Amino acid sequence: MSEIRVGLVGYGTAGAYFHAPLVHATPGLSLAAVVTGNPDRRAEVAARYSAVAVADVRDLWERCDLVVVASPNRTHVSTAAAALDHGLPVVVDKPLAGSAAEGRDLVRLAEERGLMLTVFHNRRWDGDFRTMLRLAGEGRLGEVRRFESRFERWRPVPKGGWRETGGPEEIGGLLYDLGSHLVDQAVRLLGPVREVYCESDVRREGVASDDDTFIALTHTSGARSHLWVSSVAARLGPRFRVLGSRAGFVKYGMDVQEERLRAGIPPGSPGFGDDEEERWGVLGTEEAREVVRTEAGSYLDFYRGVAAALREGAPPPVDPREAVDVLTVIEAARLSASKRTVVHLD
């Protein structure tokens, strides 16, 4: 396989700002075709990537060697399953599915077909998260006892679109969207979850899915994660506050890569993933502290991992079974919020 032809399903926010530029910048991958019915997006695809725009996913199969599913959440399972049935490996944007059961079915199908299936949990490659993992791995925090993580925004006026206005059938809302990232990071840092508690609300008029949600996880290790996702945070909390037996780590501000992708900066350009110095985190205690340089973020590592999996037989950059574990926690969070109780995971 001299060059892996990539077919991208969907050219909305995820497809246009994340997958297309990352695929285009990854050696060995070529964006060959994009499924979109929007005339302006079709023109952009042709001009920017010299890719063919097709109106229907059924026109994609013969044009590519790899399918990337970046269409609305409700289509993830059906589109990924169709690609696997056509003998094509698949990247699925998060969430992998609407339920853990559907996710397990997709994983089983990929295994039966002998095809790669992976999930775009790109926030594993955020610079701030990579920095925190390094500090924890070096023992500089001691035993990590509490992990606080936030994706908060101030959007008092809804933007509209299916993520906000769609019902449960759309798999919209912040719990499945940004919450998928926060749960994935918590499990990466602290391991499996045994208890889940959640408070979930719809705060804005005209919104049908959660826009203000809190999740509390108790990990099997005894450590706890407190996770916030909100569109109505008039004052933003720290992105991370991690408390350990030796020290704590506090970091404000989001990873810079999304902002730069939205600005059209090529992801392979020098300094693309470098954080601004004034936003570096602080490690220490009340008695002694130090500023810690943020490691460079690298979303390109995800697609480099995809290329290595297809060319060299390396493990996929994200094991899809780990994405199913995330869905298990999210389903428990939904149940907890509806029943107003703690949900215990077996």
Considering the domain architecture, whether residues 115 and 133 belong to the same structural domain is answered as no
User: What's 78's domain CATH number?
Assistant: 3.40.50.720
Q: State the Cα–Cα distance between residues 131 and 26, nearest whole angstrom.
A: 23
Q: What are phi and psi of 75, to 5 degrees?
A: -100, -5
Residue 269: predicted pLDDT:
95
Bridge pairing between strands 240-244 and 144-152: antiparallel
Give, in order, the Cα–Cα distances in Å from 57 to each of 35, 62, 78, 123: 6, 10, 11, 27
Tens-digit pLDDT profile for residues 75-122: 999 999 999 999 999 999 999 999 999 999 999 999 999 999 999 999
Considering the domain architecture, whether residues 192 and 284 belong to the same structural domain is answered as yes
Considering the domain architecture, whether residues 270 and 151 belong to the same structural domain is answered as yes
| 164 lies in some domain | yes
Q: Which of 120, 143, 177 is the last residue of a domain?
A: 120
Q: State the Cα–Cα distance between residues 217 and 201, nearest whole angstrom.
A: 18
Considering the domain architecture, whether residues 153 and 47 belong to the same structural domain is answered as no
| Triad 263, 266, 268: Cα angle to 5° | 145
Considering the domain architecture, whether residues 71 and 173 belong to the same structural domain is answered as no
Quick one: pLDDT band at residue 248, thresholds 50, 70, 90? Answer: very high
Whose CA is closest to 132, among 117, 120, 144? 144
DSSP secondary structure code for residue 15 in this structure: I
Q: State the Cα–Cα distance between residues 271 and 36, nearest whole angstrom.
A: 32
Residue 167: predicted pLDDT:
77
Considering the domain architecture, whether residues 21 and 56 belong to the same structural domain is answered as yes
Considering the domain architecture, whether residues 263 and 134 belong to the same structural domain is answered as yes
| 67 lies in some domain | yes
What total number of domains does the chain contain? 2
Considering the domain architecture, whether residues 156 and 249 belong to the same structural domain is answered as yes
| 309 lies in some domain | no
* Whole-number average pLDDT of the chain: 96
Q: Which of 120, 148, 165 is the last residue of a domain?
A: 120
Give, in order, the Cα–Cα distances in Å from 234 to each of 70, 161, 207, 271: 30, 22, 18, 31
Q: Which of 120, 155, 182 is the last residue of a domain?
A: 120
Instruction: Return the sign of the alpha-carbon dihedral for residues 197, 203, 208, 210.
Output: negative
| 318 lies in some domain | no
Would the pLDDT of 225 be above 80?
Answer: yes
| 101 lies in some domain | yes
Considering the domain architecture, whether residues 173 and 268 belong to the same structural domain is answered as yes
Q: State the Cα–Cα distance between residues 99 and 303, nearest whole angstrom.
A: 25
Whose CA is closest to 91, among 122, 58, 54? 122
Residue 1: predicted pLDDT:
58
Quick one: pLDDT band at residue 158, thresholds 50, 70, 90? Answer: very high
Domain housing 197: 126-296+328-344
Whose CA is closest to 324, among 184, 169, 151, 182? 184
DSSP secondary structure code for residue 178 in this structure: H
User: What's 160's domain CATH number?
Assistant: 3.30.360.10
